[in-house]
Chain A
Amino acid sequence: MKQVSGKRRGWNWWYLLFVIQFAVALWPPFYNKAEPYLYGIPFFYWFQLLWVLVSAVLTAAVYFATDD
């Protein structure tokens, strides 16, 4: 366990990946559109489903990049 003095434990720059997940998910103007369709599914739906997967990958990246 490394304790860097002077640096507040708890924040890690990798956590910015979480901020990206939040910002996109919580900004409906970004994805509230029907075009482009994917296999007949409007953008609104397939993008948000895709974002679930992207978020999982980002979270996994944070998991591997930070330690407990």
Chain B
Amino acid sequence: MLEVNWVALGIFLALFGFVTWLGFASAHWRKGDLDEISEWGLGGRRFGTIVTWFLVGGDLYTAYTFIAVPALAFGAGAIAFFAVPYTVIIYPLLFLVFRRLWHVCHKHGYITAGDFVRGRFGNRWLALAVTVTGIVATMPYIALQLVGIQVVIGGLGITGAGLYGDLPLIIAFVVLAAFTYSSGLRAPASIAIVKDVLIYITAFAAVIIIPIELGGFGKIFAAVPAQKLLLAVPGANTTGAYGSYATLALGSAFALFLYPHSLTAVLSASSGHAIRRNAAMLPTYSFMLGLLALVGFFVIASGVHDMPAYAEGFKRFGNNFAVPALLLHSFPPWFVGIAFAAIGIGALVPASIMSIAAANLYTRNIHREFINKNPTNKQESQIAKWVSLIVKAGALVFILFVPTQYAIQLQLLGGIWIIQTLPPVMLGAYTRWFNDWALLVGWAAGTGAGTAMAIATKLTPTFPLAIGGFAFPGYTAVYTVILNLALAIALTPVFNAIGARRVPIDATVASDYHA
């Protein structure tokens, strides 16, 4: 039975209180007119290299990541380390593709991927597909951030039945919703600085102090069972674990920057230079994530899994309790408070940005496109603020009333769905060659096939693709986006031939894509 850890709880609450104040106060930071959606929803595109570094880092490396990656290493071993090559791949993409998108979005005042696709391809239905995919993929991701908060609240010893037990989570989310509503993207940007500092302190303390307590890395890895230590070498006629590892890394990387919250953070940068510099600076977070993945092995070596004190936590949260249990076991209460606050605040930042991104999408690409074509600036930002509340309330209800497992599975599906927007968004940043209807058909096919394959594999990420007796188990998202792209390429000449339009619509010109 977990006792309430009063010292840890006190420090946790103090830090939470501080970021709450910061969230509201940041409305005045680099002050802009928050009745404009580009001010509320993109922080006025005013963030320089350093703030962008904190913001993107705080946005992409979520609390759930810090809980789930070590938990996967603890449970499944080496395969969890795919998070490292995954983060190696994302930054060249940021450097090349998203710098171009930043320029074109800046030039045309686009604030979402839907805006860009609408302008680039002149097809509101394709833009709608990108928009709906973005919103639907984001919702379970927000819900998972709540799981991160839930786990640390549980770790602090606060448990209870029914509404009483859920009250801390509800309070955390009301606070989050309120400061997001009032300050927009400025709130998570300023809180990200606090969050990232706390996370770095926690991560480095964990990877330095815990190995010393456990008698060194040699002892830790000696405690890891052989089948978890390395990837299983593939047998004959299959790419085995190697294929899974590489496709998981590749697919996750391409999916990551297609998520609306990534683009929101990227577009809030003040210049293309800030983006390019960050492509070289952000890997510090990847390095930290890799170190944190090793914490999963520390858990194995420490034996906390078998200690009665943590049995209830593992029972309630499964392997997601591995990191909190190890922190509780290894550190004095005051530091546990800091570490848990880092994870809890680490959930607020991405959850806030995700809700803003979803709100921007709804406002710009559904409301303005289909409901009220000429909103005033004030109306537009007001709608976005309300939608950000609705999105978060939805995520909260989901976590309170639906088993956590569903949120995890939906998030998995979300990755498969969001990657289907790759051809219009990422390739669209380079070429207008594709026919918009062909892209739409490719998107529909990729989404349908991806969903069917995920269901066929009982919602596990990899699909056992077999061609002529040779097996290629790999990430479903990669296979289905290839199908999507193949269809888009094959159908482009067909649709061009039957289409009435001779000259494709494109609101952008080549010079919009660079400085």
Partner-B contacts on A (CB < 8 A): 1, 9-10, 15, 18, 21-22, 25-29, 32-34, 37, 39-42, 44-45, 48-49, 51-53, 55-56, 59-60, 62-63, 68
Flag if B92 contacts A21 (CB, 8 Å): yes
Show 19 A/B contacts (Cβ-Cβ < 8 Å), sorted by A: A18-B96, A21-B88, A25-B88, A26-B89, A28-B246, A33-B230, A39-B217, A40-B217, A40-B220, A44-B231, A45-B294, A48-B84, A49-B290, A52-B87, A56-B280, A59-B279, A63-B276, A63-B280, A68-B276
- B residues in contact with A40, CB < 8 Å: 216-221
Mark interface residues in B217-259 (1 if CB within 8 Å of A CB, else 0): 1111100000001110100000001100110011000000000
Q: Which of B18-26, B144-152, B281-289, B324-332 lies on the face that meets chain A?
A: B281-289
Across the interface, do B220 and A68 meet the contact criterion of CB distance under 8 Å? no
| Known A28-B231, A42-B221; contact A59-B84, beta-carbon cutoff 8 A | no
In the bound assembly, the distance between CA atoms of A63 and B91 in angstroms comes to 12
Residues in chain B within 8 A of chain A (CB atoms)? 78, 81, 84-85, 87-89, 91-92, 95-96, 99, 216-221, 229-231, 233, 241-242, 245-246, 249-250, 272-273, 276-277, 279-281, 283-284, 286-287, 290-291, 294, 430, 510, 514-515
In the assembled complex, the CB of B279 is this many whole angstroms from the nearest CB of chain A, namely 5
Please pick, from B81, B89, B219, the residue contacting A22 in the complex, using a CB distance under 8 A: B89
Q: Which residues of B contact A39 (CB under 8 A)?
A: 216-218
Residue of A26, A29, A34, A62 near B85 (CB, 8 A) is A26
Determine the distance from Cα of A32 to Cα of B283 in the docked complex, in whole angstroms: 22
A68 lies within 8 A of B246 (CB) = no
Q: Which listed residue (B92, B218, B246, B287) contacts A26, Cβ 8 A?
A: B246
B99 touches A68 (CB 8 A): yes
Contacts A34-B229, A49-B84 given; indicate if A63 touches B95 (C-beta within 8 A).
yes
Across-interface contacts of A59 in B (CB, < 8 A): 91-92, 95, 279-280, 283
Main secondary structure of the interface of B (DSSP, over half): helix
A52 touches which of B84, B99, B510 (Cβ 8 Å): B84
Q: Is the CB of B287 within 8 A of A49?
A: yes
Pick the most buried of A40, A42, A59, A63: most chain B CB atoms within 10 A of its CB.
A59
Instruction: Known contacts A18-B96, A28-B231; decide if A52 and B290 are in contact (CB<8 Å).
Output: yes
A41 surroundings in chain B (CB, below 8 A): 217, 221, 294
Given contacts A40-B217, A48-B85, 20 further A-B contacts (CB under 8 A): A21-B89, A22-B92, A25-B89, A26-B85, A26-B246, A26-B249, A29-B242, A32-B231, A37-B221, A39-B216, A39-B218, A42-B230, A52-B88, A52-B286, A53-B283, A56-B91, A56-B280, A59-B283, A62-B95, A68-B99
- Across the interface, A9 reaches (CB within 8 A) one of B273, B276, B510, namely B510
**Residue of A9, A18, A26, A62 with most chain B CB atoms under a 10 A cut-off:** A26
Within the complex, what minimum Cβ distance (angstroms) separates B72 from chain A? 14
**Complex contact B95–A68 (CB within 8 A):** no
> Which of B273, B283, B510 touches A55 (beta carbons < 8 Å)?
B283
Using CB atoms, name the residue of chain B closest to A33. B230
Q: Which residues of B contact A29 (CB under 8 A)?
A: 242
* Nearest chain B residue, comparing its CB with the CB of A48: B84
Residue of B nearest to A59 (CB): B280
Contact A1 B96 (CB under 8 A): no
Contact: B221 with A55, CB < 8 Å? no
Could you tell me the distance in whole angstroms from the C-beta of A63 to the nearest C-beta in chain B? 5
> How far apart are B167's CB and chain A's nearest CB, in angstroms?
40
Partner of B91, one of A33, A45, A53, A55: A55
Determine the chain B residues whose CB is within 8 A of the CB of A21 once the complex forms.
88-89, 92
Q: Which residue of B lies closest to A19 (CB)?
A: B92
Whether A63 touches B229, Cβ cut-off 8 Å, given contacts A9-B514, A48-B85, is no
Residues of A within 8 A of B290 (CB): 45, 48-49, 52
Q: Which residue of chain A has the shortest Cβ distance to B243 in the bound complex?
A: A28
Which residues on the B side are within 8 Å of A33 (C-beta)? 230
A25, A63, A68: the one within 8 Å of B514 (CB): A68
